[in-house]
Every structure is written in structure tokens, then in C-alpha cells.
Amino acid sequence: KKIFSVGIPPLDNEGLCYDRKNNRLLIVSKNNPGKDAESKGKHPVYGFDLNQEVLLQGPVLNFDISEIKKFAADKGIKPSQGDGKISFRPSAIGIHPLTSKLYVLSAVERILCVFNINGTIEYIEKLNPELFNMPEGITFLPNGDMLISNEGRINPPTILRFNYKSK
């Protein structure tokens, strides 16, 4: 057993996944730690190198919040709760094993975002609140099937499986 202090700001670091191609962990927080001009409007994803057992300098990629909001507005997607605007508060991150796309859940808004490996938004899906009471976890099986877990505060916890269909 090893414990690492990675030095990421303690802002609800809820998203964690294994990046097999780069042998690192990707870590994303629910809250955006960036307050300065350079990071304003960007939501960072940090990388922990598993070979060297160190946090990589700076974010390994940034999600552009204005791009996400514009993409959602263009597609007519609004969150189920709040003021109707996307705030993007990631609760989980996963890498699809066949496409290498990044899948990010924003539980509070009940949305699933799909990004390319550089962090550019490619797809957003509004999640049905009857199926997704609080989507807090995402992972993939080797064949591409997606699993999403819901926490169980109000309703019983669930794990939903979505079978992968290649185009």
C-alpha cells in the first residue's frame, strides 16, 4: 500500500481514471481551482505519472468552459436543475478503451460530456433524472461497454450498463 500527497488543490477531486496509453491517472475536481486570468474559463485535468509516482507539472489538459456552454446552447441542452445554464462540475471521468474519447459526468447537472483526447467537446447528453438520480461514477469494460454508477442518498444506488455499438 502506498499513499501519495499529490498537491492538487482540495476542491472535491471526484474524477479519477486510468490513462492506459500514458500510464498515468487523470484527476479532475468538481470545483474549478483556477482563479487567475490564465486559467479563468478553463477546467483543469491533472495527471499523476505512475512510472515516476509524481504529479505532472500543471494540468495535462483543460476543458474550455465557454466551449462547453456554447456547445450545449447550440444543441439546446440545459441542465435539469439550477438556473438553466451549464456550470460543468465534473463528478467522474473515464477514457473509452476503443475510441480514446474522454467521458465526463457532471452529476449536479445530470449531463454526460464527450471530449477528444485534447479536451475539445464533441458531444453532450442530458441524462434522464429518473435513471440518473446522482451520476457519480463512470468506467468502461474492455469491449467498450459503459458503466455509470449513481450514489444512493435519496434512491438506492445503481449501476447502469450501456452496451457499445461501433458505427
Q: Highest mean pLDDT: which of 27-31, 73-77, 91-95?
A: 91-95
Please report which residue ranges of the chain form alpha helices under DSSP H.
65-74
Report yes or no: 29 and 14 within 8 Å, Cβ to Cβ. yes
pLDDT at 72 over 60: yes
Single-letter amino acid code for the residue at 163: N
Strand partners, 46: 27
The pTM is what?
Answer: 0.90
CA 48 – CA 18 distance, rounded (Å) = 10
Check residue 152 and give its pLDDT: 79
Check residue 13 and give its pLDDT: 85
For the chain, the first-to-last Cα distance in angstroms comes to: 42
The secondary structure of residue 68, as a DSSP letter, is: H
Check residue 35 and give its pLDDT: 61
Q: What is the pLDDT of residues 85-108, one digit of tens each?
A: 788 899 999 999 999 999 999 988
